[in-house]
A and B are shown apart, each in its own frame.
Chain A
Amino acid sequence: MIRCANVHMRFREKRVLNGLEINIEDNKATVIMGRSGIGKSVLLKCICGLLAPQQGVIEIDGQNIAAARPRQAKMIRSAIGMLLQEGALFDGLTVYENIAFPLTYHRNHTHAEIDREVRRYADIVEMTPFLDLVPRELSGGMKRKAALARCMITQPRYLFYDEPTTGLDPISAGTVDAIIKKLSDTVNITSLIVTHDVELALFVGDTVALIEDGRIRALEARAEFRRSESELRTRFIDQRRILHEEYHANRTVCHCYEFCI
């Protein structure tokens, strides 16, 4: 279980997390949604120890990673896999080498074991035909799928996704959604997904949270969240549609645009 209590994080004058509190249950998929630049990725980086919050407790299986020494943080982090934005594949390596990288570097496995594991996870993310390509030859969706296989190969107990579908076309996004859902449902894993993609959140998340002003403002099961009529939920989920309707009704959304017409 992951427990965040009173987490504060600021970059110079900008307060990003402001006393954030959330509990993430084991073997469930939790989605954290919020506007761009509101601190979702910062929260993920704090949870996996890449950033140290100025204040607060972040416990993973009862161990506070926010106050851990580097060696202990490393041990805690070994239970975590994270799909970074746009995959962060290594440019000079093929898809096969990228997926195999965590195993080949640590030299705990034979070549045959590595090969078997790479092919197994490549198969799960449907990347087997592309193992010989290098990242620049892949589409955005393929990069994320390959990166996901690389995260999975170390068999983490926690899997974090940082904006897994941002910048993808609907078809690629749908494929990535399906793979995340398949992993959440079939593998015993705790998933934490930060996104502003409402469709992904409602498809994958067992629990959905909304973050605003550096705090979690709503945390509900998917069905409840879908039914909820709270102002925050409405503002976040329906704002775009409301703006479109307003525009069609009186064309006052963008004066520049009106002027151009």
Chain B
Amino acid sequence: MNDTRPTASTLDRMYSDFVYLMKSYRSFLRWLFSRGYPWKETGRQFFLVFDSAIVQVIAGSIMFSLLLTWVSGYYGRYLGAARYVSTATVEVILRAGSVMLASTIYSAKVGTAMTVEIGSMQMTGQLDALKLMDIEPFKYLVIPRVAASLLVLPIFVGITHGIAILSSAFLLQWWFDLPIPIFLDNAFVFLDATVITSSMLRAVLIGFFVSLNACCFGTFYCDSAADMGETTTKALVLNIFVVLITDLLVSVGLRQGGFL
């Protein structure tokens, strides 16, 4: 039987990755508060990031609502609770589903693109070129991308909310003959403002960590395509864990703190 325990070298590598990431976080904070914020680059990144993932977010929202509506509609009928179907669907979308979905798509599409872009800049000497021009790569490349993510991910979560709820309303009418006015009457029974606030807060935090991790991994020393592939995979896996953990911690924290 194969021994699948992690070897010392795997642990060593994980440790050195962790140390590198912490150093990168420190550099980020150091350059964040230095003089001359790159506003123009932040604006450019905002549009680039938004444009690069909006289609995937819309498609993902529709697919998600298809699955959710089918499951909730089917079991609602099966269990004799058809009147709660719309409430359950909307609650799942607003309280957990949208943030998880948009964040996962964001990590996979935008986070990976950030890692690969900065990594390939590093491989082709563009980061060295920046340093030689007296431009700190963290300031010019990382900070604008993180700032853009802080804005874009909450917008994506908002779009996911809207599209998933609308799709569910139409699908429930089409598949389970639940009229849209009745859907709307029941959908928002348990909803209050804190649900939306909480989802936006989670989106901001996840956007921050996902983009910062992705950019920091991009600045890892890579001298081959294989290295870069490995680094990109590392960044993606870490970011998926970050999405799950941040979502959990913030939800539990808000609930325990009496905000939800």
Query: Which A positions have Cβ atoms within 8 angstroms of B?
Result: 45, 48, 50, 74, 77-78, 80-82, 84-86, 88-91, 101-102, 105-107, 147, 150-151, 154
Contacts and interface: CB of A to CB of B under 8 A. Distances in A.
B140 interface: yes
B258 interface: no
A245 to B, nearest CB: 36
A85 B125 CA distance: 8
Interface string B90-131: 000000000000000000000000000000010011101101
Contacts, number: 45
Contacts of A91: 126
B11 interface: no
A88 B140 contact: no
A80 B134 CA distance: 10
B126 A90 contact: yes
Nearest to A48: B132
B132 A77 contact: yes
A86 B126 CA distance: 10
A88 B128 contact: yes
A74 B134 contact: yes
A107 B38 CA distance: 11
Contacts of B131: 50, 77
A151 B129 CA distance: 9
B133 A105 contact: yes
B132 A105 contact: no
Contact of B134 (A50, A77, A86, A151): A77
A84 B131 CA distance: 12
Specify which of A45, A80, A82, A105 lies most central, judged by the most chain B CB atoms within 10 Å of its CB.
Answer: A105
Interface of B: 36, 121, 124-126, 128-129, 131-135, 140
Nearest to A103: B133
Contacts of A88: 124-126, 128-129
Contact of B124 (A78, A86, A107): A86
B134 A78 contact: yes
B125 A84 contact: yes
B126 A102 contact: no
A138 to B, nearest CB: 14
B129 A105 contact: no
A102 B133 contact: yes
Task: Return the 5 tightest CB-CB contacts between A and B, nearest first.
Answer: A88-B125, A84-B125, A88-B129, A102-B133, A88-B126
Contacts of B133: 101-102, 105, 154
Contacts of B36: 107
Contact of A84 (B128, B134, B135): B128
Nearest to B120: A91
A106 B135 CA distance: 8
Contacts of B140: 105
5 contacts: A80-B132, A82-B132, A101-B133, A102-B135, A151-B132
Given A105-B140, A154-B133, A45 B128 contact: yes
Contacts of B128: 45, 50, 82, 84, 88
Nearest to B129: A88
Contacts of A86: 124-125
Contacts of B135: 102, 105
Nearest to B38: A105
Contacts of A78: 134
A101 to B, nearest CB: 7
Nearest to A101: B133
A151 B121 CA distance: 18
A10 to B, nearest CB: 15
A107 B35 CA distance: 13
B138 to A, nearest CB: 12
Nearest to A98: B129
Contacts of A102: 133-135
B126 to A, nearest CB: 5
A50 B132 contact: yes
Contacts of A154: 133
